[in-house]
Amino acid sequence: MSKAIGYIRVSTQKQADEGVSLDAQRAKIEAWCPANDYELAGIHCDEGISGTKSDRDGLLSAMAEAGKGTALVVYSLSRLTRSTKNLISFGDKLEKQGADLISLTEKIDTTTVAGKMVFRMLGVLNEFERDQVSERTKAALAHKKETNQVYNHTPYGYTHSGETLQKNDAEAAVAAQAVKLHKSGKTMRAIACNLNERGVPTKLGKQWQHKQVSRLIRSAM
């Protein structure tokens, strides 16, 4: 019986609520392994971390444990990473370590030549789809900003004025400073700390988190 290493991840509570919770992923992997003659040695986990980050503790430990004759089993490729570059890199690293990659949702098994080919093709298609969504979203937001249309959520740097958006000079100045700090090399976490230490609240009057700073900078640039 071959040895399997499981890996599970969620980045948001919304994902968990929509059916890819950690428990759901764990159950799928635990059920699949014995049914396919794999002994599950353990499951590594990352919670609340984006799939675009490659330095996740759970992922790194799973990759380190995956050695010759073992298989890294994931619920789907998106749980492993959302970057084609990282996906191919992980696949190459596992191959060098003598390990295989198995994704239950896409039914990918790199123990076969066909599985390896499909793995690489799906990685490219996943990134293409993600880039298309990002492109459409940016275009829609840019159009609304240019025409002063109301967003579903009022973006930082603007306030509602009837059915349109008006620039909020005070918030716009904060956004501009955040962009300047980012260009100087400051991390999102460092910028969030800077804003919090200065007593600058978010749109909802709360403290800044690095993800909010990232969204602020993207919208301001």
CATH code of the domain containing 44: 3.40.50.1390
Q: Which residues lie closer than 8 Å to 1 by C-beta, 6 or more apart? A: 37, 38, 39
Contacts of 197 (CB under 8 A, 6+ apart): none
Bridge-based pairing of strands 164-167 and 2-10 is: unpaired
Tens digits of residue pLDDT in 100-120: 999 999 888 998 888 888 877
Q: Are residues 101 and 195 in the same domain?
A: no
pLDDT in tens, 39-56: 999 999 998 888 888 889
* Cβ 71 vs Cβ 100: under 8 Å: yes
Is 135 domain-assigned? no
**Of all helices (H) and strands (E), which one includes residue 93?**
helix 84-96
How crowded is the C-beta side of 218, counted as CA atoms within 13 Å?
13
- Establish if 174 belongs to a structural domain: yes
Residue ranges making up the domain that contains 24:
2-115
66, pLDDT greater than 70 = yes
| Residue 160 and residue 99 in one domain | no
Boundary (domain end) residue, out of 68, 99, 115: 115
pLDDT digits (tens, 9 = 90+) for 70-99: 999 999 988 998 877 788 888 889 989 999
Residue 15: inside a domain: yes
The answer to whether residues 108 and 175 belong to one domain is no
Asked whether the whole model's pTM tops 0.85, one would answer no
**173 in the same domain as 107:** no
> Is the pLDDT reported for residue 126 higher than 70?
no
Residues 152 and 194 both lie in one domain = yes
Q: What is the CA radius of gyration of the chain?
A: 21
Same domain (yes/no): 73, 150: no
The number of folded domains in the chain is: 2
| DSSP assignments along 155-211, one per residue | PTTEEEETTEEEE-HHHHHHHHHHHHHHHTT--HHHHHHHHHHTT---TTS----HH
Residue 82 lies in a domain: yes
192 in a structural domain: yes
Determine, yes or no, domain membership for 136. Answer: no
pLDDT tens digits, one per residue of 134-181:
677 677 667 666 666 555 567 777 776 665 667 778 888 888 888 888
Q: Find how far residue 10's CA is from the centre of its chain.
A: 8
* 51/88 same-domain check: yes
Of the CA atoms within 13 Å of residue 139, those in its CB half-sphere come to 6
Residue 132 within a domain: no
The residue among 124 and 94 whose pLDDT is bigger is 94
97 and 176 fall within a common domain: no
Q: In what order do the strands lie in the sheet with 100-103?
A: 38-47, 2-10, 70-74, 100-103, 108-109
**Catalytic residue positions, numbered:** 11
Give the 3-state secondary structure of residue 12.
coil
Query: Which CATH number goes with the domain that contains 197?
Result: 3.90.1750.20
Quick check: is 130 in a domain? Answer: no
